Amino acid sequence: MIVKRLSDIVPEKVGDFKRWYLSKAEPGHSLSVRHIEVNGIVPPHTDYAEETVFYIEGKGLARVGEKEVAVRPGMMLVIPPGTVHSSIREGTEPLRYLAFFIGNPDL
């Protein structure tokens, strides 16, 4: 068994957001889990694998393709591979979510 605590993982800072790799895809594995903290915007981008996002804290906007949705804790989005998407924090609290990648994530 592997036990990980968020406080034990060194985050990677990318622009206005930080990410913690809770589980990183390794050869033979197809799941990656990240904890994301947004203090501004996650710029528009695409991924090679389907991404499921589960919001756990804060408020914001998610842009997926041509659609925009207000997000809050307890909401989940499924983003198809190759779809342009981004997250934007609203308010003063960080927007936090878990991102799950299944398939062959480019990590």
Q: Mean pLDDT, consecutive 10-residue segments, the chain of 107 residues?
A: 77 85 62 83 89 92 97 94 94 90 61
pTM equals: 0.80
The pLDDT value recorded for residue 57 is 92
Centre a 10 Å sphere on the Cβ of residue 91 and count the other Cβ atoms it contains: 9
pLDDT of residue 36: 87
Determine the Cα–Cα distance for residues 24 and 26; give it in Å rounded to an integer: 6
Q: What is the pLDDT of residue 62?
A: 96
Whether 85 contacts 43, CB under 8 Å: no
To the nearest 10°, report the CA torsion of 41, 30, 1, 35. Answer: 0
Sign of CA dihedral 22, 6, 55, 21: negative
pLDDT of residue 107: 46
pLDDT the model gives residue 10:
85
So what's the pLDDT on residue 25? 57
* pLDDT for position 16: 87
